[in-house]
Structure 1
Amino acid sequence: MGSAVIVVALSIASSLSPTAAHAQSTTATIFGQAPAGETVTALSSSGLHRHETVGEKGHYRIGSLPAGDYTVTLEKDGKTVDSRANIALIVGRGAEVDFACPNDQCATSQNR
């Protein structure tokens, strides 16, 4: 009788959808490299905007963005210094958007 219970339990477990155990993502991420300390802003075609300060190692990440088309800008002292248009975000995926760094060094001098 014990083996019958195990067989039933295994068949129930195997019939569960594999997605039932994992939450589905409904957002996307923009990430990349840029000069440390500067600001990166993501602006969607629907008007949503989010910004992030680039970390000391020259990396940034803007998460929890709805799918859609974005313009990503690099700002220094509140002024746009570079921009990338038509960045398409797909649910559950990320888009890498890198910006040039002086002398190919994005990190601050103390973190190189």
Structure 2
Amino acid sequence: MNNSMHIEHPRSVHRRGFRAWSLALAVVIGAGSVAVNAQSTTGHVFGMAPAGQTITAKSTTNGLNRHVKVDDKGRYTLGALPVGVYTVTLEKDGHAVEQRSNVKLVVGRGINIDFTCPQGGCAQSTGNE
């Protein structure tokens, strides 16, 4: 009987070690898949617009509303937007100047939307022409 106890003890230690490694591996694999899933559920909008103006993207799917200023070279990017349908608007002094509706963001992709400001509705603030 003593011999059988002696033999079972190392096995139970071995089994606990195996369970610990299995659990650790499952956590690592699970964490990796969470990160991949988080990255794969967004898209982005980018483009050119008059410098200093504001671009707003409003989701018609979930109500999310994000905005960004156009940089001094006339570029903008609204990144990490959840996939869905958006209305993207060029704004000057808080008022809509130009708008694009039904912009569909696809997983992992970007959509280029350039704004030109019709009838000189928003003069560029850089003076470089």
For 2:48 and 2:125, locate their aligned partners in 1 and report how far apart those are by CA, in whole Å.
Answer: 9
After superposition, give the CA deviation of every residue in 1:20-42 in whole Å (9 maximum; x if it has no partner): 8x945321000000000000000
Q: CA deviation at 1:107?
A: 8.0
Q: 1:49 aligns with which of 40, 48, 65?
A: 65
Identity %: 53
The one-letter code sitting in structure 2 at the alignment partner of 1:33 is: M
Deviation, structure 1 residue 109: 2.9
**Structure 1: gaps spanning 5 or more residues:** 1-19
State the match for 1:74 in structure 2: 90
TM-score by length of 2: 0.62
Identify which of structures 1 and 2 has the higher relative contact order when contacts are C-alpha pairs closer than 8 Å and 6+ apart: 1
| Pair 1:40 & 2:58 matched | no
Structure ID, larger Rg? 2
Q: Which runs of 5+ in 2 are unaligned?
A: 1-32
Change (3 A) 1:85 1:48: same
User: How many residues end up aligned between the 2 structures?
Assistant: 90
Q: 1:82 corresponds to which letter in structure 2?
A: E
The structure with the largest helix share of the pair is: 2
TM-score between the two structures when normalised by the length of structure 1: 0.71
Give the alignment's Cα RMSD to 1 decimal: 2.5
